[in-house]
Amino acid sequence: MKIIIINGPNLNLLGKREPELYGSQTFEDFFEDLKEKFKNIELSYFQSNIEGELIDKLHEVGFNYDGIILNAAAYTHTSVGIGDAIKGIQTPVVEVHISNIHAREEFRQHSYISPNANGVLFGFGLKGYELALDSFL
Ligand code: DQA
């Protein structure tokens, strides 16, 4: 089973960025733990701060992977393009947010991803990525 985690802007700063919200672990560290835990999954990881690169990656994996775990970060709330990309591909997408976006500012409460996702997981910290992997199994 081939699954990719795609992270959007500023998530490369995990561990340093607003740790009270997003925790103090880097994603690279966490990803090593995930690979250890899910040895039977062919797991890959892509992060970009650039909207078009996220769309290109969705196109690239969206017809030959078994699952996509997407945290589009701030683009969640602004990107019609990423929403359309998910509509256009075949691979199921689970949307993950580390924080509970519904308990935060109003502008975070709209997602262009959710209507096109197969499932959504908000507010479980990094554990959300693990729960998303479980959902694919
Ligand atoms: C986030 C929530 C977004 O609103 C924010 O812009 C992020 C991180 C999360 O994982 O909680 O960058 O996607």
Going by the DSSP 8-state scheme, the letter that residue 101 receives in this structure is G
Pocket of ligand 1 (CB under 6 A): 10, 71, 73-74, 76, 97-99, 101, 108
pLDDT at 136: 96
Predicted confidence at residue 91, as pLDDT, reads: 98
Catalytic residue among 65, 75, 97, 112: 97
Mean pLDDT for the stretch of residues 73-99: 98
Compute the average pLDDT of residues 77-101: 98
How far apart (Å, rounded) are the C-alpha atoms in residues 119 and 117?
Answer: 5
Domains of the chain (ranges; CATH) run 2-136 (3.40.50.9100)
User: Catalytic annotation on 22?
Assistant: yes
Residue 83's pLDDT is 98
Q: What is the pLDDT of residue 15?
A: 94
Classify 34 in phi/psi space as left (phi over 0), alpha (psi -120 to 50) or beta. Answer: alpha
Ligand 1 atom closest to the Cα of residue 123 is: 11
Q: pTM above the 0.95 mark?
A: yes
pLDDT per position as a tens digit, 16-32:
999 999 999 999 999 99
